[in-house]
Amino acid sequence: MNTRQHTTGHIPERGLLNQTFPHTQSLQDKNLQIQTDKKYGHEQDAKVFLYSPQYVCDNTKTAKADVKVIWAVFAGRKQWLAFQEKFWVQLHQQGILNEVHLWDFTARHPMHKGKNLEFIKTKERQYDFVSIHTPYNKRFTRQWREFYGHYAKNISHNSVIIKVDDDIVFVNISEFKCFVNYVHEMQDVLTVSANIVNNGVVAHMQQELGIVPSTLGRMEYAPGGMHGSLFESAAKCLKLHKYFLTHASNFRRPEIMRYKENLSINFIAYSGRRAKEIHQLVTADGRKDERAITTRANTKQGAISVVYMRLVVAHGTYEKQSLNNSNLGSEVIHLYEKATL
């Protein structure tokens, strides 16, 4: 008997993030105009700046029917990945998400001793839209190339690939349709990141936009967009997650922000028409997929890489954050288990 589920019906989304934009001031009031913003400087010198005041999208309409949307996860630590399941199901039910690809990177990792492999196998058996992809290469640097190479060879231009870390614990699915349409329509944009909670460069943007208060600590722009105090601080990580869970509606913003160096690719999307270019960048770098498709693309090729501030997602922890608090992962998981977003 086939036990795989064909998702039908609708699961309503609760929470503050379905509201209209709160307290949105004009660009003049927020002092974000590139030409006059002294904090960011002129466009050619800025590292992060306003790319577009907003993307006009009616999110009551269905996503474009001819666009195939693939959610690709570097899987799969069970304690984190279990949070994503409900988002896959809801988005698939709504006809926005076509396939979930679980790339078996971490399930077989020596530090996890294969204990999570059965979990992702269970998800593949349970849902007809979920499939496991196992890299042939054992070296992680080559596995990254294999991941991007797969999509360069096997998808059409009418596709959107969303590369997702396994510890994404929240997604504001009410904005997912417009996010997909933006990625598909903006042909001059290489990659589009969500507005990520617990991401160094995005946290800097959030603070500059007045979303994250200074009382949580300074969310500085680290040199090259790499690492920084949030990346290494368990305390800042917890404070930021707690603040988000009590001020969620403030995080959803209309702006499209651009960055010119590195960005942690916790939740990043690109169009199928750019898949070969993305693969070439990763192959040329040889080691780091993140460095290739953000820093190398932005600084060497002048690529346009943006953050779509309307789609809010929450990223669990960085490894360096957990070095300062061995219970950090469990604490963050507990916060979102109790959340009513």
Q: Does any domain span residue 11?
A: no
pLDDT in tens, 106-136: 666 665 556 788 899 999 999 999 999 987 7
Residue 26 in any domain: the answer is no
| pTM: predicted TM-score of the whole model, two decimal places | 0.86
CATH number at residue 185: 3.90.550
CA distance 243 to 251: 10
227 assigned to some structural domain: yes
Per residue in 264-275, pLDDT (tens digit) is 999 999 999 999
- Is 33 inside any structural domain? no
Number of domains in the chain: 1
Taking residues 23-31, report their average pLDDT. Answer: 35
Model pLDDT, residue 118: 87
Least confident segment among 35-44, 85-94, 169-178: 35-44
Q: What are phi and psi of 60, to 5 degrees?
A: -85, -15
On whether the CB atoms of residues 132 and 271 are closer than 8 A, the answer is no
Specify if 19 maps to a domain: no
Does 13 map to a domain? no
**Locate tokens 């059965």: which residue?**
118
**How much is the average pLDDT of 170-182?**
96
pLDDT (0 to 100) of residue 266: 97
pLDDT digits (tens, 9 = 90+) for 233-242: 999 999 999 9
In a domain, 193, yes or no: yes
Q: Is the pLDDT of residue 67 over 50?
A: yes
Structural domain containing residue 156: 65-338
**Assigned domain for 24 exists:** no
Tens-place pLDDT, residues 269-294: 999 999 999 999 999 987 789 999 99
